[in-house]
Structure 1
């Protein structure tokens, strides 16, 4: 195979042009972009409330536990939850395909799963 300039494509370029690689990238983007947007919105909500809603954030719920403290701890919880969700998603949806593509590049295995 050759590229648009008539030069032979490298293994990586062939993999990059494959439908399987394009699908892998699409799945990744469909997961990561919304999850990132959710986390950033949640984080900025916390920052804005801490800055502009002092009365709300300083409301005591139990003893010295305030709404602001729970929101702050929620940031840690959500970070760990997102990490665990991503790891599970990547292990079940992405890793097998990525491994096959890696083998194709490193070992010359064909994209249909057969040897070179």
Structure 2
């Protein structure tokens, strides 16, 4: 029998898992990483945009040859994106994936 339409007295398996403390903990862990990291990156990007708009002389300051502060900060935007991605992958591998795997086995065990 398929679990998609299967219901018990307490709802489908998916509804029971969603209501479980383990699933709530998994969501909290994800949110504790994603929300602050997203806010930090958006602030970092906004600073770059504001500097480019309101401090063009500062952004045009040459560091070496034609390499300017604006170019450096722009390149650091890419570096920070890759850094955040790497941190998220490590976090997910160590924290989220094991908990999600346990929930998956719980769902498949009741199928």
TM-score using structure 2 length: 0.88
Return the offset for 1:7. Answer: 5.1
5 Å matches for 1:11-30?
Answer: 11-30=13-32
Q: Which residue does the alignment assign to 1:10?
A: 12
Return the offset for 1:105. Answer: 1.8
Counterpart among 104, 107, 110 of residue 105 in structure 1 = 107
CA root-mean-square deviation: 1.5
Partners of 2:10 and 2:43 lie apart in 1 by: 46
* Unaligned runs of at least 5 residues, structure 1: 1-5, 110-116
Moved more, 100-109 or 36-45: 100-109
Does the 8 Å contact 2:26/2:99 carry over to 1?
yes
Q: How many residues align?
A: 104
Q: Which residue does the alignment assign to 1:93?
A: 95
- Higher normalized contact order (CA 8 Å, seq sep 6+, divided by chain length): 2
Counterpart among 84, 88, 93 of residue 86 in structure 2 = 84
* Unaligned runs of at least 5 residues, structure 2: 1-7
Q: Which residue does the alignment assign to 1:3?
A: none
Counterpart among 62, 70, 75 of residue 68 in structure 1 = 70
